[in-house]
Amino acid sequence: MLGIGYLKSAPTIYSILYRNGKAVRKGPGLSMFFFAPTSTIVQVSMASIDVPFVFEDSTQDFQDVTIQGQLTYRVSEPEKVASLMNFAVNRQGQYISDDPEKLQERLVQIAQVRAHAFGQRSTLAKMLNSAAELSDDLQTGVRESEVTKMLGLELISLIVLSVKASPEMAKAMQADAREKLLLKADEAVFARRNTAIELERQIKENELNTERVVAEKQRQVREANMQADIAIETKKAELVDQQASNQRKLAAVQAEAIKGTLDAMQGSDWKTIMATFGNGDAKQVMAMAFQQIAEKANQVGQLNITPDLLKVLMEGAPTGKRS
């Protein structure tokens, strides 16, 4: 009413009241009455603002990429930005120009220029795998930009959420990656089969080595048995040789004894020999008797031989059964 208005601002809003072109009042969170025909109010938000962005760029190998991310900033020096851009508001507190929105666009443009420089140094494959490195590079570029400092802005954070290739190139790279993965899978299967074959070979070798060791042990046992048998046979041969030697010595002794006996009996009558060396056998005695009778048969008148005597001579009975 009568051109007098009232404006109340939040603590995060920096307000400047201009009257006749001069700043008469300024500060955050101000509440004031003003005369609209001669007053201009400028309000700059000092709160942090999130600005999402999406833009396309190209890489060193001329491939298109889409970069998506978000930056967060705040106005740290509101008087600087108010002196360079129109942040004036009407009586309802609404901006009368689109400069506040352009402020966000300027920050996104700085990030886009920095991303373009990064892309010209990187291939597509590197670009797709360098989201974190790109985030750091864009954050450094925007924070150190002359525009950022001149407008009195403070960059809080800048994050690149994704870097995507064109759909056609993405499919091609996916196919290439899929083929590489399949190749690795085949190599893994091949390596596993080779490992299985190698293990089987080692098992066979172990079995053969075991059989060889067992055969060697069996051979050693057989050789040991053969050595034992040879030793036994050698001992037997030595025993036989010793027995033969002993028998030869015994035979030689007996031959000497017999020779001595024969030498002693030379010239003796056989009757005397038989009487000397006879063992008392009835047959021998009877034989000698019959021999004497035969020698003097011309002197024997009559000889009676009873059946009992013949029976004794034929059956070899003891001498006690004589007639």
SS (H, E, C) 116-158: HHHHHCCCHHHHHCCHHHHHHHHHHHHHCCHHHHHCCEEEEEE
Nearest CA to 69 out of 57, 50, 52 is that of 52
Report the pLDDT value the prediction gives residue 273, as an integer from 0 to 100: 60
Q: What is the pLDDT of residue 316?
A: 54
- Amino acid 20: pLDDT: 82
Looking from the CA of 171 toward its CB, the CA atoms found within 13 Å total 2
Helix (H) or strand (E) holding 5: strand 4-8
Give 140's contacts (C-beta < 8 A, 6+ positions apart): none
Q: In the prediction, which pLDDT does 70 show?
A: 96
Checking if the pLDDT of 85 tops 60, the result is: yes
Q: Which residues contact 290 (CB under 8 A, 6 or more apart)?
A: none
Q: Which two tokens stand for residue 177?
A: 């990656």
CATH topology for 4-165? Answer: Tetrahydropterin Synthase; Chain A (3.30.479)
Amino acid at 267: G
In percent, the amount of the chain with pLDDT more than 90 equals 45
Q: Stretch 250-255: mean pLDDT, rounded?
A: 86
Segment among 31-35, 143-147, 196-200 with least mean pLDDT = 31-35
pLDDT of residue 79: 93
- Determine the pLDDT at residue 74: 95
Residue span(s) of the chain under CATH 3.30.479.30 come to 4-165
The per-residue pLDDT for 158 is: 95
Cα 303 from chain centre:
121
pLDDT of 323 strictly over 60:
no
| For residue 322, pLDDT beyond 50 | no
User: Using one digit for the tens of pLDDT, what is the confidence trace for 263-298?
Assistant: 766 666 656 665 665 555 666 666 767 776 776 667
Give the pLDDT confidence of 217-251 residue by residue, as tens digits.
999 999 899 998 888 988 888 888 888 888 888 88
By the 10 Å C-beta count (0-12 exposed, 13-18 middle, 19+ buried), 323 is classed as: exposed
Whether residue 75 is predicted with pLDDT greater than 90 in this model: the reply is yes
Nearest CA to 15 out of 53, 45, 48 is that of: 45
Confidence class for position 320, pLDDT limits 50, 70, 90: very low
Indicate whether 321 pLDDT > 70.
no
**How large is the average pLDDT for residues 16-37?**
87
Q: How confident is the model at residue 28 (pLDDT cuts 50, 70, 90)?
A: very high
Q: What is the pLDDT of residue 175?
A: 86
CB 88 within 8 A of CB 97: yes
Residue 87 has pLDDT above 80, yes or no: yes
Over 50: is that where the pLDDT of 155 sits? yes
Extract the tokens encoding 296: 């003097």
Quote the pLDDT of residue 78: 93
Quote the tokens at residue 61: 């190998």
